[in-house]
Structure 1
């Protein structure tokens, strides 16, 4: 049996060594990131027990379609979550709105 790692595993190791955090929800290299209809990635804090995703106090990452992102914006308007970071997703690549966002 070989100890060789995939490119994805090596990238994840380097990301964590550089200080990146792992959150509840989707993993950084989750297959949802590469789905053809995925357009957004959000990192958010769950603020209430009424939130449709996550548990109060959790920090989560989700890869979303346009419709899913609209639902997250509505959750933020209701006060269930606070979006900390947003990136556009194009063919699995992340394009953050600002450089100083949570990653």
Structure 2
């Protein structure tokens, strides 16, 4: 491990080396991940200018409460976003729905 680098910096370097695109929204180590009300992490594509989250064409990551997750599901139902990945969040730990789809 490189001395003097944070976990966030190491994760960003690994993302760049893998060729994965940067995501808009919350960083993987965002403080929202560790909030006591955070229960969900979503990665989604913004499909519409009408989306209340992000701008059309962006891929976003957000850490959400149960209420925020319900709103995101409603937004997907209206065709404004397409959810790519979901993880349950428990005490900052991510529990992905599909182990083969982690980003």
Q: Under TM normalisation by the shorter chain, which class is it?
A: 0.7 to 0.9
**Preserved CA contact (<8 Å) 1:45 1:83:** yes
Match of 2:35 in 1: 35
**Cα RMSD after superposing both structures:** 1.9
Looking at structure 1, the residues matched to 11 and 80 of structure 2 have their Cα atoms a distance apart, in angstroms, of 33
**Preserved CA contact (<8 Å) 2:45 2:81:** yes
List gaps (5 residues or longer) in structure 1.
Answer: none
What TM-score results when the alignment is normalised by the length of structure 2? 0.85
**Preserved CA contact (<8 Å) 1:22 1:28:** no
Match of 1:95 in 2: 95
- What aligned pairs does 1:4-83 form with structure 2 within 5 A after superposition? 4-18=4-18, 20-83=20-83
Aligned pair count? 101
List gaps (5 residues or longer) in structure 2.
Answer: none
Deviations 1:32-59 (A, max 9, x none): 1111110000000111110001111111
What TM-score results when the alignment is normalised by the length of structure 1? 0.85
Deviations 1:19-41 (A, max 9, x none): 55420011111111111110000
